[in-house]
A and B are shown apart, each in its own frame.
Chain A
Amino acid sequence: MNCMENALSIFVRSIFVDNMIFAYFLGMCSYLAVSKNVKTSFGLGVAVTFVLLITLPVNYLLERYVLRAGALSWLGEGFANLDLSYLSFILFIAVIAAITQLVEMVVEKFTPSLYNSLGIFLPLIAVNCAIMGGALFMQQRLGLEASDPKALKSIGDVVAYALGSGVGWILAIVGLAAIREKLEYSNVPAPLRGLGITFITVGLMAMAFLCFSGLKI
């Protein structure tokens, strides 16, 4: 029961308190580029969540059984002292690129309708910082003390973290897209038009999300 509670708390925290966009600016490039209308931005959000949900647990297993110091001890005594953590960047990005490719092929084969709505975004996700950032933050949080509320302890926590981060990302991008649709009709000073006003909007949204930072779960 305690385990469930922990996962739930990580899920809620990663949506509101440690929001990928507002607290860590992850995935900002596509966030700014695609948030012009609500429908496509929701599509991108779903695609990001989907890929996060698959890549994070895979990278977790990789970290646990291959990369970490002493992780290879299941291969035998001789491997117990190996520390491959310097390989983590290359392995994580390779896993992400491969899985994005795989997801794209599977989605295309089995659910063409989903593929048509996500189609353009799927290949782009391989280089979305949110996915790589999720993997690196997970690696960092696995090493935290168990008493820290941010610590991830099991694969269940990792899945909760992935889902929460994805949902937080959707929330952020759909919110921004809705505001930008309205901003189309407003009279913005010429040098601020487009990018400038978008940054200010995101800044204000980030401030609003600060209210959640006192949240105790």
Chain B
Amino acid sequence: MKMNEELKNTLLGPLSKNNPISVQVLGICSALAVTVEMKPALVMGVSVMIIVALSNVVISLIRNTIPNSVRIIVQLVVVAALVTVVSEFLKAFAFDVSVQLSVYIGLIITNCILMGRLEAFAMANKPWASFLDGLGNGLGYAIILVVTAFFRELFGSGSLLGYRIVPQSWYEAGYVDNGLMMLPSMALILLACIIWVHRAVDKELQEK
């Protein structure tokens, strides 16, 4: 029973208490850049989730054979290979999204969540636990991405997942989309608001 409890914590901990973005401060770069609309944010979240989970499993399987001095390079090569597969897959089946994500798919390689989880978890744990840890962290990352993208798309272009939400009659009555939401700076401020709410609810996470 205890074992199951531990595995559950590995999977669900990163969703809130140990969220990779708002608590561990990992992988911010891509989180901010791809959240102008919901669709690329969802694709990015799912891609990162798959890559973290799989690379955790691979590294965890070979963890005892990797010499300590070259482990970073080994990790990078494993991650780069997985990212290449995902990127080619997106180019083949979702070309418009892959154009929108441009270099940020490639940048998953240097996403700190990956290196952080590989170093901190996969190097010391069994494959199944590592898989759950990767999945949990990927989910925690995806949630923040989707929430940020939700607000940016709703207020920035009045639609969600490409479907119009704000009715045309509002525009005729003088409603204007907030162009600031489309700019990079608003992503940072929205993320700060998410952190604010998160930490106001969960007082343990407050600093100092």
Contact = CB atoms under 8 A, between A and B. Distances in A.
B73 A192 contact: no
Nearest to B87: A89
B25 interface: yes
A29 B112 contact: yes
Contacts of B115: 127
Nearest to B206: A190
A90 interface: yes
A199 B188 contact: yes
A133 interface: yes
B106 to A, nearest CB: 5
Contact of A93 (B80, B196, B206, B207): B80
A137 B80 contact: no
A52 interface: no
Interface string A161-192: 00000000000000000000000000001111
Given A196-B196, A196-B199, A132 B183 contact: no
Given A90-B80, A196-B195, A196-B199, A136 B106 contact: yes
Majority-rule SS of B interface residues: helix
A24 B29 CA distance: 8
B195 A195 contact: yes
Given A89-B80, A89-B87, A136 B107 contact: yes
Contacts, number: 139
A28 interface: yes
B180 to A, nearest CB: 8
A204 interface: yes
A131 B197 CA distance: 33
A26 B109 CA distance: 13
B185 A206 contact: yes
Report the contact-size class of chain B (Cβ under 8 Å from the partner): 35 or more
B9 interface: no
A25 B185 contact: no
Interface residues of A, number: 47
Majority-rule SS of A interface residues: helix
Contacts of A24: 29, 33, 184
A193 B207 contact: yes
A38 interface: no
Interface string A1-42: 000000000000000000000111111110011000000000
A75 to B, nearest CB: 23
Contact of B83 (A27, A89, A207): A89
Nearest to B102: A140
A161 B33 CA distance: 21
Given A132-B109, A189-B196, 5 more contacts: A26-B29, A28-B28, A195-B25, A197-B192, A210-B183
